[in-house]
Structure 1
């Protein structure tokens, strides 16, 4: 296998919802993330020849998000040759950090590069959303958009799709703590109420608008005051062991705010400096120290760039 034949792409994990931005706001992380290799093939259609870093994922391109995304792009362009894909998972499934989105975004970016960049990165969001549809049953963009574009991204509308990239207007560091417990997105969504009291909705709208203003005005105090989920976090908090204690520890350690990443079980906290983010990490780890629950922890800056071409050794195809 000639490594030079491949386009190799990394796409990062993401934090979605960001407290007050349920299903409409997300931001990228520096790490962890997924890697996808793509090359032209004489075999018709899309094939997946290798998967590393995780077991149990399907090699069927109609069932794996990277195959679905690649096929959508190939069909849109009537590509006359086959596309071979390989995947290296660098993050666990079901973490609340956009695992399927990272794979979908990496596949979209890699195939687009392979085909000579016929689509802008923003245009790739629509294709990456199809991977999310396969993974969760819903073609949402609050993870795939920041994974592709980097920084913060607001989804103003789904019909029609209207993505608003905000970039990284203010320097922020994110502490992510992933308790290694199973929490299905379907369960986390099923417990949410279908109707929201007017007063809670008003406070939520105010927080989201103020968070956008705080980012753009570089007002850390306003960002901190706005990182509050009036509606969904109170209903989901009990699903994550020691969540309330971990959140309070993060705030006591100086985080601007903290909450549930996506549908959980990961917890995120935003800080103004890397030193503070490390202190927050230590404080949350202390909460879990005697719980018997293992953790994956990350401290990263919110990056300006999302998916990108990389140079890595090629994978070995499975027998």
Structure 2
């Protein structure tokens, strides 16, 4: 059995417009890489973190890559130490599930090195503990798709119940991440607690429509269902040029567009990679006019979740 392993875990788009805290999907890039190596003792030590500009702690009880590993080992009653090297391959606070990717990569790696005592799906509660460290709440809409791949619905948290659904093969995601910062906790605070009944009804219809559209390869229905009446109107205030970027995406063939997670990244769905690439370039241009630098990622729906790297 190997003593060391390198794991990639993908970035994710959560909420997916109308599905606040219940929808999430994985993408092919970007993502995080974690190298886990067995130690002779039972210590969990973060030896190295790259790509974080020195912002992340190396305290194993406070870093999202190691907290899931610690809870996993406690659950199994196993005394095993690991050296951890975390390579952040995406921006922090991007709305792309940066903390989730680290959480998933760490516990997935530990499970592999210990001979897979648990099925991958059973690692989800431990991955969620990494989210609790990152934003104060153990949400699953990022970690579930990062761990399982594909498009995931979190039907219930108590008890935890999730569903993976089929998505169209030609569905692509364009993600533009502007070089600005939106704190997830701040993005949650700005949400209004009250919601008008008509908006809830309309939102529920879109949730149902998006699920059916994804499962039946109905691209027009996917597009029609990507209106968020409850969350986007408030959170978009924090993102410069949001409305213009969204309208530009639609004007150039996107099925729909919205905020990825808490932002500031904006994603758009398109049919076909060529359209998705064109949409992404045009979205970047809007930010560029405002003097904001961006990163662009174009991807299909990642159906595999984490993977072992050579």
Normalising to structure 2: TM-score of the pair?
A: 0.97
Deviation at 1:169, TM superposition (A): 4.3
1:45 aligns with 2:47: no
Alignment: residue pair count: 308
Equivalent residue number for residue 163 of structure 1: 162
CA distance in 2, matches of 1:83, 1:303: 28
What is the CA–CA distance in structure 2 between the aligned matches of 1:22 and 1:29, rounded to whole Å? Answer: 18
Deviation at 1:168, TM superposition (A): 3.3
2:85 corresponds to which residue?
86
Q: Residue deviations 1:94-128, cap 9 Å, x none?
A: 00000000000111111110111111111111100
**Which residue number in structure 2 is paired with residue 191 of structure 1?**
190
Q: Is the 8 A contact 1:97 1:261 kept in 2?
A: yes
Structure 1's consecutive aligned runs of 4 or more residues displaced over 2 angstroms after TM superposition are 167-171
SS at match of 2:29: strand
What is the CA deviation profile of residues 176-224 of structure 1, one whole-angstrom value per residue up to 9, with x for unaligned ones?
0001111111111111111211110011010001100011111001111
State the SS of the aligned residue for 2:121. Answer: coil
Asked whether the equivalents of residues 170 and 216 of structure 1 are also in contact (C-alpha less than 8 Å), the reply is: no
Report how far residue 40 of structure 1 moved: 1.5
Higher mean displacement: 168-177 or 257-266: 168-177
Query: Alpha-carbon deviations, 1:255-297, whole Å to 9, x = none?
Result: 0000000010000001010000011012112212221111011
Structure 1: stretches of 5+ with no match in the other structure: 312-319
Q: Which residue of 2 aligns with 1:111?
A: 110
* Aligned mates of 2:168, 2:246 — CA distance in 1: 25
Partner secondary structure for residue 66 of structure 1 = coil
1:229 is matched with 228
What SS does the corresponding residue of 1:289 show, helix, strand or coil?
A: helix
Mean CA deviation greater in 167-176 or 239-248: 167-176
Deviation at 1:39, TM superposition (A): 2.0
Whether the aligned pair in 1 keeps the contact of 2:41 and 2:81 (CA below 8 Å) is yes
| Correspondence for 2:199 | 200
CA contact (8 A) 2:167 2:217 kept: no
CA RMSD after TM alignment: 1.1
Q: CA deviation at 1:58?
A: 1.1
In structure 1, the partner of 2:98 is 99
